[in-house]
Amino acid sequence: MARGSLRVLLLGGTTEASRLAQALAQAGVDAVFSYAGRTDAPIAQPLPTRVGGFGGVAGLQAFLQDQRITHVVDATHPFAAQMSSNAVQACAAASVPLLALERPAWQAQGGDMWTHVADMAAAVQALPDQPARVFLAIGKQNLAPFLACAQHWYLLRLVDPVLDLPAARGHVVLDRGPFTLQGDRALLQAHGITHIVSKNSGGAGAEAKLIAARELGLPVILIDRPYIPARTVLHSVNEVLRRLYCAGSY
């Protein structure tokens, strides 16, 4: 590929995506940043930005061709399985190389009390029958099945104020990571948390709650990552930049 001929579509929504966007902008790479738009106050990006879906596989394929995209980097959340699957199919159909910038999943260490489950429904079933004080670290999209279990009290930590919980049912903390071990330990203790439910999102920015749970002897219900079709997976911004550099672009 000739020098200067790259045009990258960066599918974002993670801290890693923002770091890559900054690196691409600094390198002068022609790139477009795209995110789903589920957050009211998204982090500003140094690249031209589009918001929203593409209209499925066909819509994404058309976008790649219309915009003359040469490479796609999928740096979406590990649980954005539909978007990632669409990217695999659309890139294959359009003959556009796809790289995935993915956080390594968290791995249990000595002292962890983790129960692995396949999905949200299984996580609900894994909670005890008796009343518990549960820290739901799952975002705002899948709260309903948990809130239907009326015996539990829930602590939610969200970026956007999506709902008000009666004090008898729980409490909402508005905050954006990265989080610290000291802060998460204090949060769990202040609210008398007995159980944690979390997606296995990976990364350092949200790991503090798991370390705090280990120190406090709290059980964690960990939702495993969904299936995503095979693709080239990289684990750092520098790895992605090296791959793009090898394409002869900057």
DSSP string, 72-126: EEE-S-TT-HHHHHHHHHHHHHHT--EEEE-PPPP---TT--EEEESSHHHHHHH
Average pLDDT over residues 55-75: 97
For the chain, the C-alpha Rg in angstroms (whole number) is 20
How many domains in the chain?
2
Asked if residue 133 has pLDDT above 70, the reply is yes
Q: Are residues 24 and 71 in the same domain?
A: yes
pTM of the model: 0.87
Asked if residue 152 has pLDDT above 90, the reply is yes
Query: Distance (Å, rounded) from C-alpha 59 to C-alpha 19?
Result: 27
Instruction: Supply the DSSP symbol for 58.
Output: H
Q: Are residues 98 and 134 in the same domain?
A: no
Q: Are residues 85 and 153 in the same domain?
A: no
Q: Are residues 158 and 177 in the same domain?
A: yes
Write the pLDDT tens digit of every residue in 204-214. 888 999 999 99
Q: Which pLDDT value is given to residue 248?
A: 58
Query: Distance (Å, rounded) from C-alpha 4 to C-alpha 18?
Result: 22
SS3 call for 38: coil
Asked if residue 7 has pLDDT above 70, the reply is yes
Q: Are residues 156 and 179 in the same domain?
A: yes
Asked if residue 2 has pLDDT above 50, the reply is no
Which residues have C-beta within 8 Å of that of residue 13, sequence separation ≥ 6? 35, 36, 75, 76, 77, 80
Write the pLDDT tens digit of every residue in 165-211. 776 789 999 998 789 999 999 999 999 999 999 999 998 888 999 99
Q: Which pLDDT value is given to residue 139?
A: 85
